[in-house]
Structure 1
Amino acid sequence: MLEVKVFVECPALEKLAAAISGQNKSVDMPAWCDAVVTDTPVNPATNAAPAAAPAPMQPAAPMQPAAPMPGAVPTAASAPAAPPVMPPVAAAPTYTVEQVGKAGADLVAANPGVMPTLMGLLQKYGVTMVTDLKAEQLGPFATELRALGGKI
């Protein structure tokens, strides 16, 4: 299992968290932050401030889209959306009886204790030997053989 830990340091957010939790009543926020921190209590049931609370900040005026330039080429945003292009999918590999048989023999030679498991796998496919497998069974059998440690 792979474990990845990511640590992000953001002093502005740390100060904001401290102000919200009541640890710090005075917060110097950076210019890019539009948050307003007040000491006004909030009713947890309604998540609203009392009636005498200061008025909330007014939202900034919405941005107007720029007028297109004469002779401009339409962008992807103005063109109808094309269906996503799916990458080609490779066909499943095909295996021969010889490849599967060699992989099974090499596996047993390297680890004789796997023989009962390999015999159970053959029984699962309704055969007693690899040469009895049907062509359509070779791929799934090879996948399970690989899961046991076979090199194919």
Structure 2
Amino acid sequence: MMSAMTSLFLVLATIVNGLYAGFMLTFLIAIMPGLAELTDQQFAAAMRRFNEKVPGPAFLVLFLGVVALPAAAFLTGLGEHDEVTGPAVLAALICVIIGHLITVIGNIPLNNALAASEGGDDSAARAAFEPRWNTLHQVRTAFSLVACALLAVAL
């Protein structure tokens, strides 16, 4: 049986990962398809504004919480987890870390390049940004959804 602390971390990890997965999924199924219909100049301007606004305090709580809370649930539950819970929480943590690596190594450099291109050729900037960013985003969204599902299983 899990301690109250481990249970709390697991519930919070599941909630925060659900919020994060929902945020990622919203970009995938609503925001990016909507932006795809814009002109190059409108698309580049909109993405630049998103990239300025998203990394605020609320997002940083989610971005850090999706790693810290499953890690806390796993570590505080060492010796408590059954044959399903421990592996599910660890697998969820691995999924989140992979998603974050994709973000840091792939998406953020693309965001920075798009920001640096302001005042330049928006058509070229979009062509260099959109397909790669979307592909990376699809992969990291899948990892975040799998992490959320694994944490739900662990509950």
TM-score (norm. length: structure 1): 0.24
Bigger helix fraction: 2
Larger RCO, structures 1/2 (Cα 8 Å, 6+ apart): 2
TM-score (norm. length: structure 2): 0.23
